[in-house]
Amino acid sequence: MSVPTNTFQTYQAIGNREDLIDIIVNISPTKTPVLSMTESVRAMATLHEWQTDSLVTPSANAGIEGNDSAGVAVGATTRLNNNTQILTKNFLISGTQEIVRKAGRASEIGYQVQKLTKELATDIEYMLVINSAAVTGAAGTARQSKGISGFIATNTSSASANRPLTSTILDANLALIWAAGGDPDVILTGGNQKIAIAGFTQNTRFISAEAAKVVNAVDIYQSSFGTLKTVLSHVMNANEANQIFNLDMSYWRKAWLRPVLLHELARTGDARKFQIVAELTLESLNEKASGVVTQLT
């Protein structure tokens, strides 16, 4: 049906008010489980160091009555280290943009601080989990901290080809960790492996009687070597989707040389400059307390 002649429509109108809701919607992942679960300690230098030790393997031990004692060689401790890594977020806001009326936020500076602080936290999570090697750094090279992915070397379960995760594969890795003296309490995983673990018969789901539904956010895996909580990781989902970490969180700590701080930098014109900065590293107090399963589909 045609529109009557000379009908004045919105297409010709000038001055109609815009329909912009006063909300900014952002669904980007912001959860940082390793950053949240690890204890915080202080770092005092850019090269952060600690020591580990181990007991000798148990053996038959029976002494002869009245026998003289003989000196036994004493083993030295192992000295470990990691570099602190500087993480920054920088932004500039013009004087005009800060003063004009805006939708969804009263202050552009305040909004950007909130947004970029969340981004910095997810970058820290990436560093703690994904970084595979430490970088010493130089005048023109950034220092880099080694993450969980780079530290775990003893209790690794891999295969010649990718295969689906099963309770048998998972238990085999937990057995390695147990034999080394570890007692893991967290399975860190991406989405695909979380689905696989949720299907295990050993898995216990918390059920809300009031809502009469299964709450999938918290799953407990009951193994022959202890009970572990499965924790979803967005950075693993994006970068290490074909593996899982079995972690004893008491042996992982983040060491802050500089906590997260907001600095306003010197003005050079009609804009305000800001920098959000943090400097920290990861302590692996003993990597034998954790393990990794790789080559998963």
State how far the Cα of 260 lies from the Cα of 281, in Å rounded to an integer: 13
State how far the Cα of 295 lies from the Cα of 78, in Å rounded to an integer: 30
Token pair of 266 as six digits = 């010197």
Q: Are 48 and 281 in contact (CB under 8 A)?
A: yes
Strands (E), the chain: 39-42, 47-52, 78-83, 85-94, 156-157, 186-189, 203-208, 213-223, 226-232, 244-247, 252-265, 271-284, 291-293
Per-residue pLDDT of the chain (297 residues; tens, 9 = 90+): 788 888 788 788 888 877 776 777 776 777 899 999 999 999 999 999 999 998 888 899 999 999 988 888 888 999 999 999 999 999 999 999 999 999 999 999 999 999 999 999 999 999 999 999 999 999 999 999 999 999 999 999 999 999 999 999 999 999 999 999 999 999 999 999 999 998 886 555 555 555 544 444 447 899 999 999 999 999 999 999 999 999 999 999 999 999 999 999 999 999 999 999 999 999 999 999 999 999 999
Rounded alpha-carbon distances, angstroms, from residue 283 to 19, 49, 83, 209: 51, 8, 10, 41
pLDDT of residue 210: 56
Residue with tokens 């947004």: 115
State how far the Cα of 97 lies from the Cα of 101, in Å rounded to an integer: 8
Q: Are 83 and 48 in contact (CB under 8 A)?
A: yes
Nearest-5° angle of CA 149, CA 130, CA 29? 140
CATH class of domain segment(s) 33-52+79-293:
alpha beta
State how far the Cα of 290 lies from the Cα of 279, in Å rounded to an integer: 25
Q: Are 240 and 188 in contact (CB under 8 A)?
A: no
Token pair of 70 as six digits = 């003989």
Q: Give the rounded percent of residues in the chain with a pLDDT score beyond 70.
A: 92
pLDDT of residue 7: 76
Task: Please list, in sequence order, all residues whose beta carbon lies within 8 angstroms of the beta carbon of residue 179, skipping any fewer than 6 positions away.
Answer: none
**Domain spans of the chain?**
33-52+79-293
Count the residues in the chain. Answer: 297
Q: Are 285 and 52 in contact (CB under 8 A)?
A: yes
Q: Is 129 exposed, middle or buried (0-12, 13-18, 19+ CB in 10 A)?
A: buried
Task: Count the neighbouring beta carbons within 10 Å of the beta carbon of residue 265.
Answer: 11
pLDDT of residue 72: 84
pTM: 0.87
Residue with tokens 């038959």: 60
Residue with tokens 């000379």: 6
Residue with tokens 């950053």: 35
What DSSP state is assigned to residue 202?
Answer: T
Token pair of 246 as six digits = 């079995």
Longest dimension (CA), the chain: 120
Q: Which of 45, 137, 120, 144 is nearest to 278 (CA)?
A: 120
Task: Count the neighbouring beta carbons within 10 Å of the beta carbon of residue 232.
Answer: 19
